[in-house]
Structure 1
């Protein structure tokens, strides 16, 4: 019986649909939820938005997805031998041998080229922003992820670049307070990611980032305390100084609950290492984000 199961899997591995599925998994589509931040500019400009702006935002979302996927492909290509020794990463398509590493690398290069050229047709600045995002992530993957504190700042900058990119795609300016709020919330997520990795390391669960040797749980908790306080104050100020209606202050309840819920997941349930996973799997966070976006749209349309 076991032999027949192995033979069935091997037979399936050679089929075209299976290969296509594995190449799709190599793009890490679960990570694409991070790129939803591209739509932030559209949401806060909802009253003057149109179908062209929506289509541009959707295009910007997918272009960010393709560029980020090209980074993941490059990372997995370089780390494929090391990943085979990891209890979880060895199941990745490239590390497991399910796909050809060089074919995947070619796909990544084509995705990057397509994204940069397509972005240039929309807005040359957006194309340069995507290129900077790609180069920054490559530098992070090969070197900067081992530099204490700088690694956290680079992770956070990726979210800020997404927000800026969304604004460039629909040609709307950002208020300084919005960018500050985005940066601080991104820092909170990045610090929480490192804290979760340190928690796994202390629990002997296979985390092996060298930079974790320079962090402590107390230090990361202190970082989060500072950043969370600044985030909530900055967003409160944003609701009153963003040139929108002051009724945006009613959305504070969702921001407070979302942050507190995330803290609960970090400190009580030992989660928070993957924001995209938390968004999809924690019902409270998902509903809070949806209610927040819905309330912002309603307030800006009917109360501004």
Structure 2
């Protein structure tokens, strides 16, 4: 049963929660042990909360998942795990998220609660409305960044929040594009909102979101610092964004965004070099 419980909480999706650490990096507090500990515990709280949300989604979509080509292999849909055990595990994860969050700060607790409530609303209502569903996904990433900021606590630039929103919009649109490609004519049966999305619209949304990400990040490096050296990091951001666009649009990649990001060496290299460049700038210039 342990193997099925692990599959249920989708560890591959946990990479999304690194957004909680963004304020730790951009506030230059990664050399402060207390701030690092608080930020990492906040991220662990979000991992537990997001895992609980995945279980809730599987419970609510159980019947549809049984008809899905790949989702029917999930623990609940395949019958390898009972709904009762899933609910118990979900409640345990929520407790492991909310109780530590309370001791980190009330702000972190508020963010976790807001994230869970928004996802309940998404799973029951918002996912059926075109564009709104993708914006709800994007808002979840913004909440992660805000959570990381209040955990330390530290000011987080509005440009960082906007950039996060645009990147998440791009991820959301990429997810919908992949779902449509995999399901083909059966897409509307499994997710009603997919019938309202055309391939050309999703490609346009990805392009607009990437443009918004590039602009807002560039403005962040220009307006938030008194020296020009942070602008060097724009190179890695632009390369990463354009590489993702190449994979999703030019090569018409049909995998989910997180699978594309984690499996593409050039894209991962740009992310790693981006992080290294910021750390080097902070250490060299003491920003």
Q: TM-score, normalised by structure 2?
A: 0.93
Task: Quote the residue 2:203 is aligned against.
Answer: 221
Moved more, 267-276 or 128-137: 267-276
Q: Is the 8 A contact 1:181 1:234 kept in 2?
A: yes
Q: Is the 8 A contact 2:178 2:255 kept in 1?
A: yes
Q: Is the 8 A contact 1:245 1:300 kept in 2?
A: no
Task: Quote the residue 2:97 is aligned against.
Answer: 115
Task: Quote the residue 2:224 is aligned against.
Answer: 242
1:252 aligns with 2:209: no
What is the CA–CA distance in structure 1 between the aligned matches of 2:210 and 2:172, rounded to whole Å?
Answer: 12
Cα RMSD between the aligned structures? 2.0
What is the CA–CA distance in structure 1 between the aligned matches of 2:171 and 2:30, rounded to whole Å?
Answer: 31
Task: Quote the residue 1:296 is aligned against.
Answer: 278
What is the CA–CA distance in structure 2 between the aligned matches of 1:204 and 1:82, rounded to whole Å?
Answer: 11
What is the CA–CA distance in structure 2 between the aligned matches of 1:272 and 1:235, rounded to whole Å?
Answer: 27
Q: Is the 8 A contact 2:170 2:210 kept in 1?
A: yes
Give the deviation of 1:199 after TM superposition. Answer: 3.0
Moved more, 19-28 or 290-299: 19-28
Q: Can you give the 5+ residue segments of structure 2 that lack an aligned partner in the other structure? A: none
User: CA deviation digits over 1:77-116, x for unaligned, max 9?
Assistant: 2222332222211111122222222112111012112311
Q: TM-score, normalised by structure 1?
A: 0.88
Q: Is the 8 A contact 1:194 1:273 kept in 2?
A: no
Larger radius of gyration: 1
Aligned residue among 79, 82, 85 for 2:61:
79
How many residue pairs align between the two structures? 286
1:52 aligns with 2:11: no
Q: Is the 8 A contact 2:187 2:195 kept in 1?
A: no
Alignment of 1:83-94 (within 5 A): 83-94=65-76
Match of 1:96, SS state, is coil
Distance 1:203 1:80, change over 3 A: closer
Task: Quote the residue 2:82 is aligned against.
Answer: 100
Task: Quote the residue 1:198 is aligned against.
Answer: 180
What is the CA–CA distance in structure 2 between the aligned matches of 1:262 and 1:51, rounded to whole Å?
Answer: 34
